[in-house]
Structures are given as C-alpha cells and as structure tokens.
Amino acid sequence: MICLLGQKVITWHLFGCSCYLISRKRRIINLIQDKLESIKNSKEAYRRMVEKSMLVSRLQQLGRHFPEAPLNLEQAPVRVAVTGAAGQIGSFLCNFIAQGRMFGPYQKVILQLIELPQAEKVLQGLVMELNDGAYDIVHEIIPSTDPMVGFKDADVAVLVGARPRGKGMERSDLLSANAKIFQAQGQALDKVAKKSVKVCVVGNPANTNALIASHYAPSIPKQNFTALTRLDQSRAASIVSERVKCPVEDIRNLHIWGNHSATQYPDTFHADIKSQPLRSVVKDDAWLDGPFLTKV
C-alpha cells in the first residue's frame, strides 16, 4: 500500500515536471518567435528606409522643381569646365549639369564652357539655351575659346572635345592630332586650375588622352585624372542582359580595360549578376571569349 502510494506520488511529480518543462519550452518558443518577428519587422523597416532613401536620391538627381535649399545645404558654387561644350555630347552634358544631375539639385555651379574659335557662334547659342532654361543651380556661365580662361580655378574638368577620326585617317595620325590637343589642355590645367581639380577625359582614345593630359599637368595628382569609356561598358552590360534575360541593373563590376578601340577588353571575370559570378550565370565561355568580345 505504501509502495503504491509512493509510486503515485512519483508519477504525479514526474507529470508535474513534464508539464512545467512543456510550458517552459512553449514560452521559449514563443519568445524566439517574437524575436524572429521583431527581426523580420526590423528588416522590413530597414528595407523601406533604404527604398525611401533611394527614391529621394533618384528624385534629387532630377534637379528641377525642388524646394529652396536649406541654409545648411548652401555651399560655394562648383566651377565645372567642359571642353567641346557646343558639340552633340557636350551640349547634352551641359544641360544635365545645369539640371543638377552631376552634383545634386542644391549645389550651385559655374559653367566654364570651352570651344574652338570656329565654334564660337555655336557656343553662344548653347549659352542662350542654358539661359532660357533658367536653371536654379546655374550661378554663372562663362563661355570661352581660350583654355586659360575656361580652366581658371576649375574644381572639375570634363574633357569632351577631341579630334574625330576622319576618312582615310591612320590611327597614328589621330593619336598625333589628339596629343597636341590634350597637351595644350594639360598645360592650361596645370597653370590655372585648382590643384585639387578632378579631370574626366571623355574624348577618344580616352585612356591615351588622359595619360597625355596628366603628363603635361605635373602639379595635379595623377589620381585626379580618369578616363570614361562608358559607351563600351553600357554596351557590354546590355548584351549580357539580353543574353541571360536579366535587368541591366543586376549586372555589376563589368569593366572595360583599354581604349575605345579594337584593343579594348571587357572584363567578365570580376563581374557578377545578383551577386553570382557573371560567367557562371552565362554558362557559355566560348561565347564570352568570342562573339561577345567582337560585338562589344
């Protein structure tokens, strides 16, 4: 009888312990679930914040119809020198800068537009167009056919103007003609631009021209010179996008090495698509090493 009673007590005790453990386990599970839900909500809130920030950033790049700049955002105007300003690329670029697409909608700019003497009338026409736009961030426009005036105290220089390759013109002739142009521009930058000036060379062959300009501007740090071969990079990205049926914005780090010429090399080995190596996504090395290179 006593043994039986003892067994019942032990059984009830074990049953009570089991209930306690189950209850405690449920509480721990609920706490974990609440924590996971909290993390999920935090991630969602962070994602929304990032999306909102990106949206605001994209809107700011439009550069038009924005409220007056707060006092804490008002800064001294940035002097931007553009060569070949009256050309097809240069005129579009000047309007984009005036819209705030380079420095944002609250950064005032002084446009220092440089052209050849024979294009002076076309340059005056561009100035009229920019004035007609009544862009809020354009502080002043200085047109010039003299690089010493156009590059004076420049913070940024975009070297668009270059000699195009004419009919029957050998590559060596083209290099020689552009060497003279970018030698003169490099010397002018060295003499009158700010020593902190950032120089972006667009005129082809861009890498060679950037090297020449930097060589003749020894007082400006070499790292302040860069060459832009965006056309080839964009073309390469669009070809891959079409090949794998993905948005262009999913393709990252697809770079072009070399000049805008037959010697250029689109680097697919360091590129990725949605964080996956580009070559493993394309899965066709023969195409990437052959037709793709030729098409770019």
pLDDT tens per residue, range 174-192: 788 889 999 999 999 999 9
pTM: 0.69
For the stretch 284-289, contacts whose Cβ atoms lie closer than 8 Å and that sit 24 or more positions apart, written own/partner, are 287/243
pLDDT at 286: 94
pLDDT in tens, 38-74: 666 666 666 666 665 665 565 555 544 555 656 556 6
Q: What residue ranges do the domains of the chain occupy?
A: 72-227, 230-295
Question: Looking at the predicted structure, is the pLDDT value of residue 3 above 60?
Answer: no
Looking at domain 72-227, its CATH superfamily turns out to be NAD(P)-binding Rossmann-like Domain (3.40.50.720)
Mean pLDDT along residues 107-114: 96
- Say what the alpha-carbon torsion angle 185, 153, 137, 160 is, to the nearest 10 degrees: 10
Q: How many CA atoms lie within 13 A of 11 on its CB side?
A: 6
Sign for the pseudo-dihedral over CA of 80, 86, 88, 92: positive
Q: What is the per-residue pLDDT across 156-169, written as a single tens digit (0 to 9) for each?
A: 999 998 887 777 77
Q: Do domains 72-227 and 230-295 have the same CATH topology?
A: no
Q: What does CATH list as the number for 230-295? A: 3.90.110.10
Q: Indicate which residues carry an active-site annotation.
A: 260
